[in-house]
Structure 1
Amino acid sequence: MLDYCIYRDCFSSADMRSIWSEHTVISAWLRVEQVLAEHQAMAGLIPAEAARAINALSICDLKKTELQTEMMLVGRPIVGLVKQLRALVPEHAVHVHFQATTQDVMDTATALQMKLGLELVENALNRIVTAIDHLASSHPDTIMMGRTNGQHAVPIQLSTKLAVWRSELERRSRALNEAAARGLNVQIGGPVGDLRGYKNGEGQQIKLGIAASLGLNVVDPHWQNARDGMADIITALGTLCGTLCKIAHNVNQLSSSDINEFLEVYESGKGASSAMAHKRNQRASEFGEAVARLGRQRAEQIGELTLHEHERSGGVWIGEWVVVPETFLLTSGALKWSERMLKNLVFNTDAMNKSLAADFMNKPQAHH
Structure 2
Amino acid sequence: MLMAGSVHDSQIYHKLFDAGEASKLFTDSAEVRAMLIVEGALAKAQGELGIIPELSAKAIHRATLEIPLDPGALGQAAAVNGVPVPGLVSAFRDAMQAPEHAQYFHWGATSQDIIDTGLMLRLRQLLGLVEGAVRETLSALAGLAEAHAELPMAGRTYGQYATPVSFGSVAAQWGQPLLSCLKELDDLKRTSLLISLSGAAGTGSIWGAQTPALRAAVAAGLGLSDPGRSWHADRGPLLKVADWLTRLATALGKIGEDVTLMVQSGVGEVRLGTAGGSSTMPQKQNPVQPSVLVAAARQSIAAQSALQGAGLARQQRDGAAWFTEWMVLPQLCLAAACAAETARRMVPGLEPQPDAMQAAFDQSQGLMQAETLSFHLSAHMPRPEAQAAVKRLCRTVIERGGHLRDAAATAYPDIDLAPVFGASGQLGDGPEQARAFAAAARAV
Residue number in structure 2 paired with 1:110: 119
Q: Note the residue ranges of structure 2 that are not aligned, 5 or more in a row.
A: 1-5, 367-401, 414-444
1:280 aligns with 2:285: yes
Partner Cα separation in structure 2 for residue 59 and residue 251 of structure 1: 49
Residue number in structure 1 paired with 2:180: 171
- Pick one of 325, 339, 364 that aligns with 2:344: 339
Cα pair distance change 1:357/1:197, threshold 3 Å: same
Residue number in structure 2 paired with 1:330: 335
- Equivalences for 1:37-186 in 2 at 5 Å? 37-57=43-63, 58=65, 60-87=67-94, 88=96, 89-186=98-195
Structure 1 residue 18: Cα displacement: 1.1
Deviates further, 291-300 or 204-213: 291-300
- Pick one of 10, 17, 20 that aligns with 2:23: 17
Cα pair distance change 1:238/1:40, threshold 3 Å: same
Partner Cα separation in structure 2 for residue 241 and residue 309 of structure 1: 30
SS in 2 for 1:95: coil
Q: Note the residue ranges of structure 1 that are not aligned, 5 or more in a row.
A: none
Partner Cα separation in structure 2 for residue 121 and residue 112 of structure 1: 15
- Pick one of 244, 251, 255 that aligns with 1:247: 255
Deviates further, 64-73 or 112-121: 64-73
Structure 1 residue 10: Cα displacement: 2.1
Partner Cα separation in structure 1 for residue 144 and residue 198 of structure 2: 51
Deviates further, 347-356 or 85-94: 85-94
Residue number in structure 1 paired with 2:219: 211
SS in 2 for 1:11: coil
Q: Output the amino acid matched with 1:23.
A: S
Structure 1 residue 60: Cα displacement: 4.7
Structure 1 residue 279: Cα displacement: 1.2
Deviates further, 27-36 or 314-323: 314-323
Cα pair distance change 1:307/1:360, threshold 3 Å: same
Q: Output the amino acid matched with 1:276.
A: M
Residue number in structure 2 paired with 1:307: 312
Structure 1 residue 186: Cα displacement: 0.4
Deviates further, 351-360 or 124-133: 351-360
Q: Output the amino acid matched with 1:350.
A: D
Cα pair distance change 1:104/1:276, threshold 3 Å: same
Q: List per-residue Cα deviations over 1:50-109 (Å, max 9, x = no partner).
A: 122212224753233331121122221000011112222312232111011101100111
Structure 1 residue 181: Cα displacement: 2.6
1:30 aligns with 2:36: yes
Q: List per-residue Cα deviations over 1:203-248 (Å, max 9, x = no partner).
A: 2111001111111112232100111111111011111111111111
Residue number in structure 2 paired with 1:227: 235
SS in 2 for 1:152: strand
Cα pair distance change 1:127/1:36, threshold 3 Å: same
Q: Is the 8 A contact 2:32 2:69 kept in 1?
A: no
Partner Cα separation in structure 2 for residue 12 and residue 308 of structure 1: 32
Partner Cα separation in structure 2 for residue 310 and residue 100 of structure 1: 19
Residue number in structure 1 paired with 2:442: none
Residue number in structure 1 paired with 2:360: 355
Larger radius of gyration: 2
Partner Cα separation in structure 2 for residue 206 and residue 36 of structure 1: 8
Q: Is the 8 A contact 1:176 1:237 kept in 2?
A: no
Partner Cα separation in structure 1 for residue 43 and residue 15 of structure 2: 38
Residue number in structure 2 paired with 1:197: 206
- Pick one of 256, 260, 263 that aligns with 2:264: 256
TM-score by length of 2: 0.79
State the percentage of identical aligned residues. Answer: 28
Q: CA RMSD in A?
A: 1.6
Q: Is the 8 A contact 1:291 1:334 kept in 2?
A: yes
TM-score by length of 1: 0.95
Q: Is the 8 A contact 1:146 1:153 kept in 2?
A: yes
SS in 2 for 1:154: strand
Q: Output the amino acid matched with 2:103.
A: V
Deviates further, 334-343 or 120-129: 334-343
Partner Cα separation in structure 2 for residue 177 and residue 237 of structure 1: 14
